[in-house]
Amino acid sequence: MKIAILPGDGIGTEIVAEAVKVLEALDLKFEMEQALVGGAAYEAHGHPLPESTLNLAKQADAILFGAVGDWKYDKLDRPLRPEQAILGLRKNLGLFANFRPAICYEELVGASSLKPELVSGLDILIIRELTGDIYFGQPRGRRISPDGAFAGADEAFDTMRYTRPEVERIARVAFEAARKRSKRVTSVDKANVLETFQFWKDIVIEVHKDYPDVALDHMYVDNAAMQLVKEPKRFDVVVTGNMFGDILSDEASMLTGSIGMLPSASLNTQNQGLYEPSHGSAPDIAGKGIANPLATILSAAMMLRFSLNQTEAADRIEAAVKKVLAQGFRTADIYSPGTQKVSTAQMGQAVLKALA
Ligand code: NAD
């Protein structure tokens, strides 16, 4: 089992270090190899996703990724910005299905911005399509003004686009995932306004014929955004396109108290996957040793489950995380009076101890 470790920038290096210690403590035979990605790779090699990093990722069974980005790179040309590394990995590895569970741990119910009764017991799974939609559709661009400067452009455009195979395969992933949960899928679209999403809806209905045991309903994205804060527990599996999924999964993350708690997985058709916390590189707290490593540790658990077929080890990690929360350990983002505030490294140690 080969794992590519790509810590990236900002808090990425701090949180991935804790997750690696947890993996090492499992007594499983992993080969782990580390490489630079994002801003760190740009500094060293002049590119956010150097050939050597991409090759390592391609050869690995799974990738544990920290986060990339820093505001200091905002002025770079778009292809050289750290965030392009993640888009490049998704594209080159064909990672089309993004799993974002939003689970509200009982001990953190008070950290949610919603009333406890709305989030207590919350366990939803947002499945976002990753390779199509307006983020990749062609043509896109800015019409350059007569003097050739982008700054003077007077029109810009992106193309929203999905193909039949793209929608079919993500719909299947959602129905399969629902079969392992409570057998309910909500497909989120904007079929009332957008041709692309009428097409999406029609195909989801077609694919659903192969899954008669799973209940399917449809919701417009504006209503879904509202229902997520009004009555989040009405959802189980939510499947949606790239842009709506980007926005709704961040919204769902806040229901659980902190983005520092949420893992994610991006899978291709061979179950090779990239596993990363849902948050970014948090430059505002980088280097302070206060970032929450639990989202990354839980991402490592997802990696064991989905790509490495080590369900028992995944269960052990998840149980250890529940235990440290029950013991009252909290990083600053989830701290509340009466609990014990700990650093990134102390939280990692607490998980290791719980694991043992
Ligand atoms: P962010 O997720 O990095 O941070 C948002 C807020 O959440 C900040 O206040 C941060 O301190 C806090 N936060 C995030 N993770 C935390 C953790 N583990 N523990 C405690 N607090 C945490 O989003 P942003 O500030 O909008 O973006 C910062 C940089 O990250 C940008 O360059 C952005 O492009 C990049 N980014 C990268 C990814 C990725 O690598 N996949 C995803 C999102 C954003």
Residue nearest to atom 22 of ligand 1 (CA): 260
CB 161, CB 132: distance < 8 Å? yes
Best of 259, 266, 274, 321 to mutate for ligand 1, by most ligand atoms within 8 A of CB? 259
User: Domains in the chain, ordered, with CATH?
Assistant: 1-96+269-356 (3.40.718.10), 97-146+159-267 (3.40.718.10)
- Helix intervals (H) in the chain: 12-24, 39-45, 51-59, 84-93, 116-119, 164-179, 195-208, 221-230, 242-255, 294-306, 311-326, 344-355
Q: What is the CA radius of gyration of the chain?
A: 20
Per-residue confidence in pLDDT tens, the chain, 356 aa? 999 999 999 999 999 999 999 999 998 988 999 999 999 999 999 999 999 999 999 999 999 999 999 999 999 998 999 999 998 999 899 999 999 999 999 888 888 889 999 999 999 999 999 999 999 899 988 876 666 556 667 788 999 999 999 999 999 999 999 998 999 999 999 999 999 999 999 999 999 999 999 999 999 999 999 999 999 999 999 999 999 999 999 899 888 877 889 999 999 999 899 999 989 999 999 999 999 999 999 999 999 999 999 999 999 999 999 999 999 999 999 998 899 999 999 999 999 999 99
Q: Which residue reads 């108290």 in tokens?
A: 257
Which atom number of ligand 1 is nearest to the Cα of residue 294? Answer: 18
Q: Which residue reads 């888009």 in tokens?
A: 87
- How many Å apart are CA 250 and CA 259, to the nearest integer? 8
Give the dihedral sign, CA 288/289/290/293: positive
- How many Å apart are CA 340 and CA 289, to the nearest integer? 16
Residue 222 among the catalytic residues: yes
Tell me which residues have their CB closer than 6 angstroms to ligand 1: 11, 15, 67-70, 83, 86, 259-260, 276, 279-285, 291-292, 295, 333
- How many Å apart are CA 63 and CA 86, to the nearest integer? 11
Closest CA to 286 of 82, 108, 50: 82
